[in-house]
């Protein structure tokens, strides 16, 4: 048995003024945005993106995704509560296993260093930038993704498939997003503010809006590992 080589990930340069029309263009255009404009997100775009995401596959078609969305005054109340929590206590997020931590360091260098221009030893600057997670990076539409507490790992796959479909549908409509495990570090605050029932586990936050075109870190191309590190393909 021999492993066959896998072609490398294509690099596509997108013209920001051309509408996205192919799946490949939309996948390339989606990226994590960490500074949003206050411009409100039109409800029909959200509704049509949610309708598309609803077509995602899931184990036994259980459709395990649950989403709580807030805009306007509700959004402001939630952001204020999460931000206040983040200034008084550390978020409760499971630590990354040791062998994966280098990915986070590399990402931090790229996002906070190259993207935001914060020096590695500038602890205050870094802390202030990290705190912006808990303001949902200024997004005018914020979400919390949940799943029933009795469900298992397999079903979180279904939530992931739905979430990526939603991100791509929003991207196609010119919107930007950031999935945020950081805000899920304050589940009780989110539960209270969004009236999330006990039987749902909070998985992550979601920031949605129009990206700030002046913010350099919104235009990073975060590297991926070679396909060979992710996929084994046997042919004989």
Ligand X SMILES: Cc1cc2nc3c(=O)[nH]c(=O)nc-3n(C[C@H](O)[C@H](O)[C@H](O)COP(=O)(O)O)c2cc1C
Binding site for ligand X (CB under 6 A): 31-32, 34, 107, 133, 178-182, 204, 222
* DSSP-based three-state secondary structure for 8: coil
Residue 31 or 191: the one with the smaller Cβ distance to ligand X is 31
Query: Least separation, in Å, of the C-beta of 2 and ligand X?
Result: 31
Q: How far is the CB of 32 from ligand X (least distance, A)?
A: 4
Per the document, the length of the chain is: 236
Determine whether 67 is exposed, middle or buried from the number of CB atoms within 10 Å of its CB (0-12, 13-18, 19+): middle
User: Least distance from C-beta 236 to ligand X, angstroms?
Assistant: 34
Q: Kindly tell me which of 34 and 66 has the beta carbon lying closer to ligand X.
A: 34
Nearest residue to 217 (alpha-carbon basis) of 124, 138, 139, 117: 117
DSSP letter for 42, please.
P
Of 52 and 181, the one with the shorter C-beta distance to ligand X is 181
Residue nearest to ligand X (CB): 182
Task: Tell me how far, at minimum, the Cβ of 167 lies from ligand X, in Å.
Answer: 9
- For ligand X, which is the closer residue by CB, 118 or 179? 179
Q: Are strands 66-70 and 200-209 parallel, antiparallel or unpaired?
A: unpaired
Helix-helix angle 153-172:43-53, to 10 degrees:
140
């Amino acid at each position: 048995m021999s492993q066959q080589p896998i072609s490398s990930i294509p690099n596509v340069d997108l013209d920001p003024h051309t509408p996205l029309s192919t799946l490949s263009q939309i996948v390339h255009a989606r990226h994590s945005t960490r500074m949003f404009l206050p411009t409100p997100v039109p409800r029909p775009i959200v509704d049509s993106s949610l309708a598309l995401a609803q077509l995602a596959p899931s184990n036994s078609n259980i459709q395990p995704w649950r989403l709580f969305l807030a805009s306007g005054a509700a959004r402001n109340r939630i952001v204020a509560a999460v931000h206040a929590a983040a200034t008084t206590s550390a978020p409760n997020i499971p630590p990354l296993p040791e062998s994966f931590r280098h990915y986070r360091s590399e990402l931090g260098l790229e996002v906070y260093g190259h993207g935001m221009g914060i020096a590695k030893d500038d602890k205050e600057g870094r802390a202030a930038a990290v705190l912006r997670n808990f303001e949902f990076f200024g997004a005018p539409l914020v979400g919390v993704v949940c799943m029933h507490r009795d469900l298992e790992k397999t079903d979180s796959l279904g939530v992931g498939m739905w979430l990526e479909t939603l991100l791509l549908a929003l991207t196609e409509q010119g919107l930007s997003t950031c999935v945020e495990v950081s805000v899920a570090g304050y589940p009780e605050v989110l539960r209270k503010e969004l009236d999330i029932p006990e039987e749902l586990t909070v998985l992550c936050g979601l920031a949605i809006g129009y990206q700030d075109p002046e913010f350099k870190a919104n235009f990073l191309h975060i590297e991926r590992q070679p396909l060979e590190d992710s996929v084994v393909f046997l042919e004989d």
